[in-house]
Amino acid sequence: MIQRMVLFGASGDLTSRLLLPAVSQLAERDALPPGLTIVGAALTDWTTQDFRDHVAERLREHSPAPASAQDQVVRMLDFAPADATDAADVRRVIGEDGPSTLVYLALPPALLESALEALATAGLRVDDAVAIEKPFGTDLASARRLNELLRTRLPSPMIFRVDHFLSDELVRRVVSLRFLNRVFAPAWDTHSIERVDISWLEDLTLEGRASYYDGAGAMRDMLQNHLMEVLSLAAMEQPARLDANSFRAVRVEALRAVATPAPDRMRTATVRARYTAGTIGARNVPSYVDEPGVDPSRSTETYAALTLDLNTPRWSGVPFTIRSGKALGHPSAEIAVHFRQLPSYLTEPYVRLQTTLNGPQRTAERRELETVSTPPSMTAYAHLIQEMLHNDPMLFIRGDEAEEAWRIVDPVMLAWSSGAVELQEYPAGGAAPGPLG
């Protein structure tokens, strides 16, 4: 079990807004390894007390855990000024003959390759681990380079490629719905399902993330990783066993079955658009190109949609559409499974599930079945960190899984950069645009 965490990029928003609040949730549940210590490392010229004060303030703002759990996390913290791309700094922070360590690279994508080269000199062992935040690379070629670097330079530690959507409780319930339900399992194929739409639509705008988002866009930020992983859960076959190897293998096979998008379908199967000025509720929102930190010449999309075909008997003829966008009037996060219509001679165009219950005075009553899912007990990052501390890779991306996702997206990005698909516009607070046709 991991006994120490080293967070490179500790002064960044990810650490104080998501990672350490997640640790505080685990502290509240007494789910942390005994004696766990956390070392923050960044270029910031802080002392340990400065780091503790910064984290304490951010925990009060972002952590759902009580003050006692927050205080427990703050007491775990140390700080070491360091450059994550400098081998000497990295070796100094990690040290020699220390406890089993999780090295968390909460770094911008541009620094990842240099950081891994530096980390390769630190002598990590088989009981250590390395966590890499998404996006894993910027295209297929860079993902392959990163995987090769990890195979050859960091062969010993466990590698956790992070995509927090896989650890979200509501997303993971798709697996139970599919495989532990006698109503849905037999109907989960092309004979019953007409199409599947996976959406993550936000009414939020940039929220201060222009430095990252303007270089990534909706396709790289959401579709290539998060929504592609949700697609794999919706489309995969049942794993032979519920273990990490089996579970990850069927996800990869689902992505391998996705047909590479064809050049002649780009205008009908993909959508790229960005928001203009508008109103969302009571907020007046400026055009994306007028947001602070945005370079209009990049033509970055704030909405992306991609329709994909899977070459398997189960899904032949069933299109899967993944889409995500910002500044939309009707936010939603859903997997919408559209079942085929019943024959026209049937009067009811849908199936209603009912049960018979005891009524008053020995009568029988019929009631429609309805369920409301319970709220998640912990955040996605709390689940992620708990799995990493126990060296369980089930909820993390495999190297070939990341490459398959880029294999699907790369041709789309190439077509978009060449101007093959027009960049549409939509007003902030409006509806998502459709394909050009």
Tell me what the mean pLDDT of segment 23-49 comes to: 96
Per-residue pLDDT band for 337 (boundaries 50, 70, 90) equals very high
pLDDT of residue 228: 97
Per-residue pLDDT band for 360 (boundaries 50, 70, 90) equals low
Comparing CA positions, the residue from 36, 2, 44, 3 lying closest to residue 15 is 44
pLDDT of residue 98: 86
Pairing mode, if any, of strands 278-280 and 303-308? unpaired
Give the Å distances, CA to CA, from 189 to 186, 196, 268: 8, 11, 24
pLDDT of residue 96: 87
pLDDT of residue 316: 97
Of the ranges 39-43, 320-324, 343-347, which one carries the lowest mean pLDDT score? 343-347
On whether the CB atoms of residues 163 and 396 are closer than 8 A, the answer is: yes
Tell me what the mean pLDDT of segment 57-66 comes to: 96
Tell me what the mean pLDDT of segment 37-53 comes to: 97
Comparing CA positions, the residue from 221, 230, 224, 222 lying closest to residue 197 is 230
Measured CA to CA, the distance from residue 178 to residue 82 in angstroms comes to: 47
pLDDT of residue 290: 95
Q: Which residues pair with 201 in a beta bridge?
A: 325, 332
pLDDT at 350 over 60: no
On whether the CB atoms of residues 131 and 9 are closer than 8 A, the answer is: no
For the chain, how long is the longest CA-to-CA vector? 81
**Its pTM surpasses 0.85:** yes
Name, of 50-64, 163-177, 336-350, the range with top average pLDDT.
50-64
Q: 131-186 pLDDT, tens per residue?
A: 999 889 999 999 999 999 999 999 999 999 999 989 888 888 888 888 888 888 89
Pairing mode, if any, of strands 332-339 and 193-201? antiparallel
Task: Decide which of 219 and 353 is more confident.
Answer: 219
Q: Which residues are catalytic?
A: 226
Map residue 373 onto helix, strand or coil.
coil
Strands (E), 56-113: 77-81, 101-105
Q: What's the mean per-residue pLDDT of the chain?
A: 92
pLDDT of residue 109: 85
pLDDT at 435 over 90: no
Tell me the domains of the chain and their CATH numbers. 4-133 (3.40.50.720), 169-334+398-427 (3.30.360.10)
On whether the CB atoms of residues 339 and 193 are closer than 8 A, the answer is: yes
Per-residue pLDDT band for 345 (boundaries 50, 70, 90) equals low
Measured CA to CA, the distance from residue 219 to residue 413 in angstroms comes to: 8
Give the Å distances, CA to CA, from 233 to 132, 230, 249, 409: 21, 5, 11, 18
Which residue, chain included where needed, has tokens 């293998």? 249
The three-state DSSP-derived secondary structure of 276-302 is ECEEECCEEECCHHHCCCCCHHHCCCC
pLDDT of residue 37: 97
